[in-house]
């Protein structure tokens, strides 16, 4: 897949992996739609790309307001005339026990990480199908393959992402649509700081493994390369997380013994 002049719509583009993805797509000559809630941060990212103004559209979006997705999609089409690649990347994590999270908070997490992604895809996909070309590069997680304590709803949302896009791929590949699911492990971002914690408040602490994680730009480059190569899935993680995905498939009992106390220790520390 040649990305030159392709129109790439990235959600969660104001920080972390999303911001790094914007830079990587820009390096490959794409034109970008940058979406997140904070317009000032989107403008900061846009400025850092050193692209012509006409090549970058900043489009604020609230993933908890799916009723606006149709109008947002039309704004992109009016500006660029087409959409070639959708990158649903916005998300939120969790650092609290299942029974200690209020229903409103776990609904917020599931709606942000899964339902909104599906509904935005539903708006964009018909345009990709009409073109008989394009791609979807969605950010899942190693947590979409392995469940861990204190991450119940986060893991559930990412398992749902895996199942949905693996299924969707079977419906659209004949029409020239590439569906790539990226499964990052620990990436050096602020995801743990902003995770849902006690009483629904941000967790506010950096996980030690997150702080030592793979740089976001390295993760983004691997994701973009996987899309260009037409890969169905890519795991971007350290040795332990990658090993865990294999143990989950071939030796789940051993994985349980190795990980059953892991998340508890991480949160308590």
Question: Is residue 1 one of the residues assigned to a domain?
Answer: no
Q: Tell me the C-alpha distance between 55 and 50, whole Å.
A: 10
pTM tops 0.85, yes or no:
yes
Tell me the Cα Rg of the chain.
18
DSSP class of 139: E
DSSP class of 99: G
pLDDT of residue 11: 98
Q: Tell me the C-alpha distance between 110 and 24, whole Å.
A: 28
Average pLDDT value for residue range 179-187: 96
154 is catalytic: yes
pLDDT of residue 193: 81
Would the pLDDT of 109 be above 90? yes
Strands 177-184 and 233-236: parallel
pLDDT of residue 262: 67
Cβ neighbours, 10 Å, residue 261:
11
- Identify the residue whose tokens are 């998340």: 263
Instruction: Say how many Å lie between the first and final Cα of the chain, rounded.
Output: 44
Which entry of 154, 186, 246, 262 is annotated as an active-site residue?
A: 154
> Dihedral of the CA atoms 210, 159, 140, 126 (nearest 10)?
-160
pLDDT of residue 202: 72
Would the pLDDT of 148 be above 90? no
Domain at 256, CATH number: 3.40.50.720
Question: Is residue 2 one of the residues assigned to a domain?
Answer: no
Question: Is residue 78 one of the residues assigned to a domain?
Answer: yes
Would the pLDDT of 161 be above 90? yes
Q: What is the band of 189 on the pLDDT scale with cuts at 50, 70, 90?
A: confident
Q: Which domain holds residue 35?
A: 7-268
Average pLDDT value for residue range 210-232: 94
pLDDT in tens, 254-263: 999 988 876 5
pLDDT in tens, 48-93: 999 999 999 999 999 999 999 999 999 999 999 999 999 999 899 8
* Number of independent structural domains in the chain: 1
Average pLDDT value for residue range 88-100: 91
- Identify the residue whose tokens are 């790094």: 20
């Amino acid at each position: 897949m040649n990305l030159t002049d392709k129109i790439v719509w990235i959600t969660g583009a104001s920080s972390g992996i999303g911001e790094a993805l914007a830079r990587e797509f820009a390096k490959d000559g794409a034109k970008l739609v940058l979406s997140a809630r904070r317009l000032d941060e989107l403008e900061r990212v846009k400025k850092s790309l050193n692209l012509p103004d006409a090549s970058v559209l900043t489009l604020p979006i609230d993933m908890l307001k799916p009723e606006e997705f149709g109008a947002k999609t039309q704004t992109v089409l009016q500006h660029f005339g087409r959409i070639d690649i959708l990158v649903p990347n916005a998300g939120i994590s969790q650092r609290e026990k299942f029974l200690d999270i209020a229903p409103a908070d776990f609904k917020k997490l599931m709606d942000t990480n899964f339902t909104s992604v599906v509904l935005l895809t539903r708006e964009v996909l018909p345009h990709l199908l009409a073109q008989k070309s394009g791609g979807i590069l969605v950010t899942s997680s190693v947590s979409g393959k392995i469940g861990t304590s204190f991450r119940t709803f986060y893991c559930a949302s990412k398992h749902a992402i895996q199942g949905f896009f693996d299924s969707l791929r079977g419906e659209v590949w004949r029409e020239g649509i590439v569906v790539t699911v990226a499964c990052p492990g620990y990436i050096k971002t602020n995801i743990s700081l902003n995770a849902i914690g006690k009483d629904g408040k941000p967790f506010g602490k950096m996980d030690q493994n997150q702080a030592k994680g793979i740089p976001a730009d390295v993760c983004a480059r691997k994701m973009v390369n996987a899309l260009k190569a037409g890969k169905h899935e890519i795991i971007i993680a350290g040795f332990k997380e990658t090993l865990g995905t294999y143990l989950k498939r071939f030796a789940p009992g051993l994985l349980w013994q190795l990980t059953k106390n892991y998340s508890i220790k991480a949160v308590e520390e």
